[in-house]
Amino acid sequence: MTGFPFGQMKSIGEAVAAIGSPAFPATLRQLCLGVYGFDSLFVSVFSEDQPPLQLYSDLDPEATRRTVGPYLGFAYLLDPFYGLFRSDPGDRVVSLDECAPDDFRTSEYYRMFYAETGLLDEVVMLVGSTRGTAIALSLGQRHEGCRVAPDARAHLDALLPVISELCRKHWPQPASSAGHGEPAADIVFDRLSRMRVSTRESEVIRLMLKGHSTKSIARILGNSPETVKVHRKRIYSKLGIASQGELFSLLLGGASG
């Protein structure tokens, strides 16, 4: 761990000492944010077949009301970090720009869960846990005054093995208390089968909502951009909508209830 700031060694020791106690999440927060310089931490469990489960949050009640409930209920399906977990649940540090689709910052998801809630940037530490799950530590920047040192990412990468073992020791079975209701993926995307859209149009809808541009969708599906534009027009016409915001509300808005 060459180059690691020795001032954080105390925080590591405090986190080790707090394993198994209610104080652990707060010491973990101090350790992670002390290294990277962001100002919020949200810890959840990603699962292959169940919605995420919150383990810790330092968000205020208003931010929690506006974002956490809808996110855990249905919107995680569009989260690029959750999508990355589904493709590879191994340990890693990844920034929003490294995993988000090319048009993500113009998507309805970004507007709802970033722009309107003051979340300016995000870095996530994924910690592989029990079979089919991972602990996700979301480090968020919510104030312009945050200062991230040039070597902060390298230090966070170096800290990953330590953080991973700490989390696995403190949360050995993190998904054991998760609910076993019907997963939102089944509830939400099964709605597509009841809509008058084709299989290809359903694929286009999924990619649109995740923040892919027309060119990106065309590349993924092996179509031309012009063909994708035709699909989009047909989707809007069939569903009687005129914007991605209306599409988001139609398909996902009712899932939280």
Q: What is the pLDDT of residues 223-244, one digit of tens each?
A: 999 999 999 999 999 889 998 8
45 and 127: one domain?
yes
Q: What pTM does this model have?
A: 0.85
Task: Judge whether 110 lies within some domain.
Answer: yes
Q: 195 with 160, same domain? A: no
Retrieve residue 161's tokens. 């093995």
What are phi and psi for residue 41, nearest 5 degrees?
A: -140, 130
pLDDT over 80 (residue 115): yes
Range of the domain at 133: 6-170
Planar angle of CA 41, 43, 44, nearest 5 degrees = 150
Residue corresponding to tokens 């953080």: 163
- Residue 1, domain member (yes or no): no
> Does 179 reside within a domain?
no
**Contact yes or no for 32/139 (Cβ under 8 A):** yes
pLDDT band of residue 152 (cuts 50, 70, 90) is very high
Q: Are 43 and 54 in contact (CB under 8 A)?
A: yes
Q: What pLDDT sits at residue 257?
A: 43
| Model pLDDT, residue 193 | 67
- Kindly report the CATH number assigned to the domain that includes residue 214: 1.10.10.10
- Confidence category of residue 31, pLDDT binned at 50, 70, 90: very high
CA neighbor of 196 nearest in space, from 252, 250, 255: 250
Tell me, yes or no, whether 89 and 207 share the same domain: no
Q: What is the CATH number of the domain that holds 165?
A: 3.30.450.80
In a domain, 24, yes or no: yes
- Amino acid letter for position 122: E
Q: Is residue 149 domain-shared with residue 230, that is, in the same domain?
A: no
HSE-up of 11 (CA within 13 Å, CB side)? 19
**Per-residue pLDDT, 168:** 95
Positive or negative, the Cα torsion across 54, 130, 51, 123? positive
Q: Say yes or no: 144 and 199 in one domain.
A: no
Same domain, 145 and 203: no
In a domain, 160, yes or no: yes
5 compared with 75, residue with greater pLDDT: 75
Query: Is the backbone of residue 246 left (phi > 0), alpha (psi -120 to 50) or beta?
Result: alpha
Range from 69-83, 133-147, 170-184, 190-204 carrying the lowest mean pLDDT: 170-184
pLDDT of residue 49: 79
- Supply the DSSP symbol for 199: H
User: What is the arithmetic mean of pLDDT over 124-138?
Assistant: 93
What pLDDT score does 6 carry?
56
Decide if 232 is inside a domain.
Answer: yes
C-alpha to C-alpha distance for 136 and 249, rounded to whole angstroms:
26
* Residues 158 and 203 grouped into a single domain: no
Total structural domains in the chain?
Answer: 2
Contact partners, residue 107, CB within 8 Å, separation at least 6: 78, 101, 209, 210, 211, 244
Q: Decide if 105 contacts 122 (C-beta within 8 A).
A: no
Cα separation, 13 vs 173, in Å, equals 23
221 — pLDDT class (breaks 50, 70, 90): very high
C-alpha to C-alpha distance for 46 and 69, rounded to whole angstroms: 15
Statement to judge: residues 126 and 159 lie in one domain = yes
